[in-house]
Chain A
Amino acid sequence: MPKILVIYRRELHFYFASPWSYTIAGAFWLLAGFFFVSMLLGPQGVIAQALLRDRLAGDGVPPLDVAYQFLQLFLSLLGTLALFVLPMLSMGLYTGERQRGTLELLATSPVATWAVALGKLLAVLTFFTFMITPLLGWEVIALSTASPPFNLGWLILGHLGLLLLAGAVLSLGMFISSLTESTILAGVLTFGLTLSLWLVDLLTQGWEGTGGDFLQHLSLVKSYNTFVQGILDVSSLGVLLSYIFLGVFLTSQSVESLRRS
Chain B
Amino acid sequence: MIEVEHLKKTYGTTTGITDVSFSVARGEILGFLGPNGAGKTTTMRILTGYLPADQGEARIDGLEVHEDPMGVRQRIGYLPETPPLYPDMTVADFLLFVAQIKGVSRSEQQQKVAVALERCGLGAKRQVLIRKLSKGFRQRVGIAQAIVHEPPVMILDEPTVGLDPRQIIEVRELIRGLAGDHTIILCSHILPEVSMTCDRVAIIHQGQVVATNTPAGLLSQLEGGVQFNLEVAGDPGLVRQVLTGLEGVQTTTLDHLPSGLITVHLHATAATVGPHAVAALVQAGIAIHEVSRTQATLEDVFLRLTTTEGSPTP
Contact = CB atoms under 8 A, between A and B. Distances in A.
B52 interface: yes
Contact of A259 (B52, B71, B80): B52
- How many interface residues does chain A have, given as a range? 20 to 34
Nearest to A5: B100
7 contacts: A101-B83, A103-B84, A105-B80, A105-B145, A106-B101, A110-B102, A260-B52
B246 interface: no
Contact of B84 (A1, A10, A104, A259): A104
Interface residues of B, number: 30
A104 B88 CA distance: 18
Contacts, number: 67
A13 interface: yes
B103 A17 contact: no
A108 B78 contact: yes
B48 A108 contact: yes
Given A100-B87, A108-B48, A108-B50, 6 more contacts: A6-B101, A10-B97, A101-B80, A107-B50, A109-B98, A110-B73
A107 B80 CA distance: 12
A222 B66 CA distance: 45
Most B CB within 10 A of own CB, among A17, A109, A261: A109
A100 B84 contact: yes
B85 interface: yes
Contacts of A101: 80, 82-84
Interface string A1-41: 10100110010011001100000000000000000000000
Pairs of residues from A and B, 9 with the lowest C-beta to C-beta distance, nearest first: A105-B84, A102-B84, A6-B100, A101-B82, A110-B73, A108-B48, A110-B70, A109-B101, A110-B74
A103 B48 CA distance: 13
Contact of A14 (B49, B88, B101, B103): B88
B155 to A, nearest CB: 9
B272 to A, nearest CB: 48
B49 A108 contact: yes
A111 interface: yes
B50 A259 contact: yes
B11 A109 contact: no
B89 A13 contact: yes
A261 B11 contact: yes
Contacts of A104: 50, 78, 80, 84
Contacts of A108: 48-50, 73, 76, 78
Contact of A18 (B80, B88, B97): B88
A6 B70 CA distance: 17
B88 A100 contact: no
Contacts of B74: 110
A255 B86 CA distance: 19
B158 to A, nearest CB: 13
Contacts of B166: none
A18 B129 CA distance: 13
Nearest to A6: B100
B45 to A, nearest CB: 8
Interface in B69-127: 70-71, 73-74, 76, 78, 80, 82-89, 93, 97-98, 100-103, 106
Contact of B98 (A1, A18, A105, A260): A105
Nearest to B157: A104
A10 B145 CA distance: 15
Interface in A106-122: 106-111
B216 interface: no
A17 B80 contact: no
A5 B102 CA distance: 13
B159 to A, nearest CB: 14
A100 B49 CA distance: 19
Contacts of A3: 100-101, 103
Contacts of A106: 101
B51 interface: yes
Contact of B100 (A1, A13, A261): A1
Contacts of B106: 1
B84 A7 contact: no
Nearest to B49: A108
A108 B82 CA distance: 14
B220 to A, nearest CB: 37
Nearest to A112: B70
